[in-house]
A = this chain, B = another copy of it.
Amino acid sequence: MQNAPCSGYRSLFKIALPDFGSVAIVKTHLTLLLLLALTANLSGQSEQKEDAFFIKSIFSATLADGEAHDWLRYLCKDVGPRLAGSPGASAAVNATKFMLDTLGFDTVYLQPCLVPRWVRGPEAEARIVNSEQVGTEALRVTSLGNTIGTGPGGITAPVVEVHDFDELEALGEEVVAGKIVFFNRPMDVTQLNTFAAYSGAVDQRVYGAAKAGKLGALGVIIRSMATGRNDVPHTGTNAYDPEVEPIPAIAVSTNDADMLSRLLDKEEIRIHFSSHGQMLDPVPSYNVIGEKRGTTHPDEIILVGGHLDSWDIGEGAHDDGTGVVQSMQVYQTLRRLDYEPQRTLRCVLFMNEENGLAGARAYWAASNAANEFHLLAIESDRGGFTPRGFSAQGDPSVFTDHYRRINDWLPLLEPYGLGFTTGGSGADIGGLESQKGLLLGLLPDTQRYFDYHHTAADVFEAVSRRELHLGAASMTSMVYLIDKYGLR
């Protein structure tokens, strides 16, 4: 298959210059000019054909022989959940270090970082009570990450439902103090892009406890960040305000949130809930990095990455086991196709994306201190679904040129359903923007992500091998093009 560009080149040549010998009477410089123009054009066409064939072979090799799905099985089933600072995270560091050691990198190393150590303790429990003694309805809940617990006895209080911070502020301290605040604004399911719907609702989860705590609430219950209506609660980061006494925060499933809201329309509800989160002292952990030095431009770095940590419920399959194994797949596929990178290729598995970004910050600091230049960084952290393209980000001084350049390659990428849009790339690579390279986030189909995100349902079985491998092949194709041509 890889010989085809040559035969294509030859046949074009034959058509373009069938009688080359007979034009010798034309003025020499004209002939030369013509020849040069034709050669440039032919060489461009030939290169594009070669690239098309190479990208086709990237996709074929990844679909047929890719290992990402097997690696993901190990990461999910043998390592399991891996919240930063937990034994699972240590096991993930060791396991992926061991894997990278077998993948032909020049160097594989651990980059230290100090991560927060949050422990859930026993899972939260909540029930609707008529009095403080009698439970009538158990709710499906989970503690939010980074939260404090209620203490062993739990808390019991009347519930007040709100939908945003304005509504909360309007109720004010006299209504909110001593209550449990129930944040119940759903994600907007009519948005096609579920990440946009997530952005429109997630402030409740991140800042709800801080905002309600400031008004004297005893605790908060957040409607889960989910696009479906079901019984699965979704955890995720909570961020306290250092100026405000922290209060416990839990998430409730969307079905139970709807039920609660219906009951609240009719009567006053009191809820008892207990949760047991604790933030312990930070502990040392690591990013895991594999590096292959470039042959001709070793000082230009191409990074592919995902984050190694996950929440502590589920297996962190789509978030972000898939990004980890896709990043590991990139160089593995290039090797399989005997492609030797001109630039330095780095596979970076970041620690602590979920609740602190300590790994990413350590990476940025070390990279900037060493005066490194990341020509390209790609993060995959939106799930292992059928890829639709990339979200591009960069320093304004260079971004327009970079964005135009990558759009030149659309004819090579559109056959795989890929396109570009501008927007955020990935939480772990955003801090590299000042190096003035290009930052890309893999954009998969978003429809199923919030069925799994931060839940016990985010397990290996929820990932399709083909969809996962297509994402890896998409990343590999971008790496190939930018490694081969740069961005100028």
Which A residues are within 8 Å of any B CB, using their own CB? 59-60, 63-64, 189-190, 192, 194, 227-228, 386, 388, 415-417, 445, 447-448, 451, 464-467, 470
B residues less than 8 Å from A447 (CB atoms) = 386, 464, 466-467, 470
The minimal Cβ–Cβ distance linking A408 to chain B, given in whole angstroms, is 21
- Complex Cα distance, B417 from A100, in Å, reads 37
Contact B445 A386 (CB under 8 A): yes
Could you tell me the distance between the alpha carbons of A416 and B470 in the complex, rounded to whole angstroms? 21
Please give the distance in Å from A224's CB to the nearest CB on chain B. Answer: 16
Q: Which residues of B contact A415 (CB under 8 A)?
A: 192
Residues in B with CB closer than 8 Å to A194 are 466
- A467 neighbours in B (Cβ, 8 Å): 447-448
CB distance from A444 to the nearest CB of B (A): 10
Q: When chains A and B are docked, how far (Å) is the Cα of A445 from the Cα of B417?
A: 10
Name which residue of chain B comes closest to A229, CB basis: B465
Closest A-B pairs by Cβ, 9 of them: A60-B190, A447-B466, A448-B464, A447-B467, A63-B190, A63-B189, A386-B445, A386-B447, A64-B190
For A464, the chain B residues whose CB sits under 8 A away are 447-448, 451
Residues of B within 8 A of A465 (CB): 228
Q: A190 and B228 in contact (CB under 8 A), knowing A445-B386, A447-B464, A447-B466?
A: no
Cα separation A464 to B386 with both chains bound (whole Å): 14
A459 to chain B, nearest CB (A): 13
A192 to B64, CA, bound (A): 11
Write out the residue numbers on chain B whose beta carbons fall within 8 Å of the beta carbon of A227: 466
Contact, CB under 8 Å: A190 / B470: no
Q: How far, in angstroms, from A464 to B448 measured CA to CA in the complex?
A: 7
A417 and B193 alpha carbons, distance in the complex (Å) = 11
- The interface residues of chain B lying within 8 Å CB-to-CB of A228 are 465-466
A451 cross-chain contacts in B, Cβ below 8 A: 464
Most buried by B among A194, A386, A470: A386
Q: What are 13 A-B pairs at a CB distance below 8 A?
A: A59-B190, A63-B189, A192-B415, A192-B470, A227-B466, A228-B466, A386-B447, A388-B417, A447-B467, A447-B470, A448-B464, A448-B467, A451-B464
Docked Cα-Cα span, A445 to B471, in Å, equals 14
Which residues on B sit within 8 Å (CB–CB) of A416? 192
Minimum distance in angstroms from A200 CB to a CB of chain B: 14
**Cα separation A354 to B60 with both chains bound (whole Å):** 31
CB of A139 to closest CB in B, whole Å: 22
Provide the bound-state CA to CA distance between A465 and B467, in Å.
Answer: 18
Query: In the assembly, what is the distance between CA of A388 and CA of B414, in Å?
Result: 13
Given contacts A228-B465, A447-B466, A447-B467, 18 further A-B contacts (CB under 8 A): A59-B190, A59-B192, A60-B190, A63-B190, A64-B189, A192-B415, A192-B470, A194-B466, A227-B466, A228-B466, A386-B445, A386-B447, A388-B417, A445-B445, A447-B464, A447-B470, A448-B466, A451-B464
> Chain B residues near A470 (CB, 8 Å)?
192, 447
Q: Min CB distance, A430 to chain B, in Å? A: 27
| A60, A194, A416, A447 — most chain B CB neighbours (10 Å) | A447
CA A30 – CA B441 in complex, angstroms?
A: 55
Complex-state Cα separation, A190 to B417, whole angstroms = 15
Q: Give the complex CA separation of A386 and B464 in angstroms.
A: 14
- How far is the CB of A333 from the nearest CB of chain B, in Å? 13
> How many angstroms between the C-alpha atoms of A465 and B229 in the bound complex?
10
Cβ contacts under 8 Å, A190 to chain B: 59-60, 63-64
| Cα-based distance from A192 to B467 in the complex (angstroms) | 10
What are the residues of chain B within 8 A of A59 when measuring CB–CB? 190, 192
CA distance A194 to B447 in the complex (A): 20
